Amino acid sequence: MIKFTSNVIILEAKNGDLERGFNQLAVELIALDKYIESDQELLYGAITLGDVWRFGVLDRSNKLLKKDMEAYTLLSDLKEIVLILIGMLELKAN
């Protein structure tokens, strides 16, 4: 697990299973919500196989997990992946 900031989690999907990996990401985001003392409304997460990425966000006040239905691949979506990750970090910095 890689933590860029206390409000962003990136996990590697085990056994090449993004769906199970996203379930694990959801568990980690919920645990992080309970652990951190922050007024940040959103917690961000990503699950990856290395070459495939999916993203999610936990709305802390509404207890709602949103899953991006798009799967991004490094070969065709590198720019989008990087922009999403930068966006997560910039939102944390503000």
- What domain range includes position 17? 2-93
pLDDT at 76: 97
Tell the residue number behind the tokens 């917690």, with chain if given: 43
* Residue 92: pLDDT band with limits 50, 70, 90: low
**What is the token pair recorded at 17?**
């299973």
Q: Is the C-alpha dihedral spanning 49, 51, 54, 57 positive or negative?
A: positive
pLDDT at 4: 46
Out of 60-64, 70-74, 85-89, least confident range: 85-89
* Total domains present in the chain: 1
pLDDT, tens digit (0-9, with 9 covering 90-100), for 14-65: 899 999 999 999 999 999 998 887 788 999 999 999 999 999 999 999 999 9
